[in-house]
Amino acid sequence: MLNQSLFDKLLLLRLPAFREGLREQQANPQYADLAFEERLTLLVDQECTRRSDHRLHRRLILADFPIQATIEEVDFTPERSLDRRLVFELAQGQWIRNSLNLLILGPTGGGKTFLSCALGNAAARSGFSVRFLRTSRLLHALDLSRQDGSYANLLRSLAKVDLLIFDDWMRDSISIANAQDLLEIFDDRFGRSSTLISSQVPVAEWHARLPDPTLADAILDRLIHNAYRLTLQGESQRKLRAIRTMPNT
């Protein structure tokens, strides 16, 4: 019988899954048929799996996705004109390893947020840190951070994230101060990390929507020239989901 001191030491060493597995092996006589190395491997694997699951859980919480979406749930019906091969390639995450960007474009309700969350979820499961941001809320947070002195810290925290997702890009008007903030963010990230942009506004209109041509040139130069593009078409996904859930009369 293993003494309690060993279990206490495993707890002290922060090996809870190893500890639980050892108790299970102690209670189940079937493990006696395994060699010492086999039993030890099972315990180590159990601890590694638990830690990996906890890290993923933390990444998903920090990502703050508004929708729990996966690549397997993405609608690839022909009318959406969505390149299945490219989507699954992007889900592997090599574009993030290469510090490239991704633009997801399409009409309101076209499923841009869902696809952004699905790709963000895939990135988190591949070990990347991810944060989902509503563009207007981020710009407001940056304004507030200037007032309370946390601006530099907020910029540093954003720069450390492997994948930033900007939802509703260019939906609202952008001030000179907003554009300067965006340039700071993209300048920190260019060549170091990846950004995913979701927008109903065509790329050709972005420059005109930015309030200063020089800032617009600098922002777009860091954002669009090293970016993949996915353009969604078809009817509003919200409308289609509503039709499917309505009772037949």
CB-side exposure of 187: number of CA atoms within 13 Å?
A: 11
Same domain, 17 and 77: no
**How many domains does the chain divide into?**
2
Which neighbouring-strand residues pair with 230?
104
Same domain, 51 and 153: no
241-248 contacts, C-beta under 8 A, 24 or more apart: none
Query: pLDDT tens digits, the chain, 249 residues: what are they?
Result: 557 788 788 777 788 877 888 788 888 888 888 888 888 888 888 888 788 888 889 999 999 999 999 999 999 998 888 999 999 999 999 999 999 999 999 999 899 999 999 999 999 999 999 999 999 999 999 999 999 999 999 999 999 999 999 999 999 999 999 999 999 999 999 999 999 999 999 999 999 999 999 999 999 999 999 999 999 986 655 545 544 454 655
In angstroms, the CA 198 to CA 196 distance is: 7
Q: What would you report as the CA-atom Rg of the chain, rounded to the nearest whole angstrom?
A: 24
Would residue 144 count as lying in a domain?
Answer: yes
Would residue 50 count as lying in a domain?
Answer: yes
CATH code of the domain covering residue 167: 3.40.50.300
**H or E stretch at 229:** strand 227-231
Tokens, residue 28: 């189940």
**Interior angle at CA 40, CA 36 and CA 41, nearest 5:** 115
Domain that holds residue 104: 64-243
**Interior angle at CA 100, CA 80 and CA 106, nearest 5:** 25
140-145 contacts, C-beta under 8 A, 24 or more apart: 142/178, 142/181, 143/177
Same domain, 30 and 56: yes
Same domain, 193 and 208: yes
Would residue 248 count as lying in a domain?
Answer: no
**Residues 170, 197: contact at Cβ < 8 Å?**
no
Same domain, 96 and 148: yes
**H or E stretch at 76:** none
Same domain, 22 and 114: no
Same domain, 136 and 227: yes
Q: What is the pLDDT of residue 54?
A: 86
Q: Of the candidates 158, 98, 102, 97, which has an alpha carbon nearest to the alpha carbon of residue 126?
A: 97
Q: What is the pLDDT of residue 247?
A: 61
Same domain, 49 and 11: yes
Kindly report, residue by residue over 214-224, the tens digit of the pLDDT: 999 999 999 99
Which neighbouring-strand residues pair with 227?
101
Q: Of the candidates 31, 33, 14, which has an alpha carbon nearest to the alpha carbon of residue 22?
A: 31
Same domain, 238 and 134: yes
Same domain, 124 and 55: no
Would residue 44 count as lying in a domain?
Answer: yes
Same domain, 215 and 231: yes
Q: What is the pLDDT of residue 242?
A: 45
Would residue 28 count as lying in a domain?
Answer: yes
Beta sheet of 194-199, edge-to-edge order: 130-134, 163-167, 194-199, 101-105, 227-231
Would residue 249 count as lying in a domain?
Answer: no
What is the distance in angstroms between the CA of the first residue and the CA of the last residue of the chain? 68
In angstroms, the CA 123 to CA 211 distance is: 33
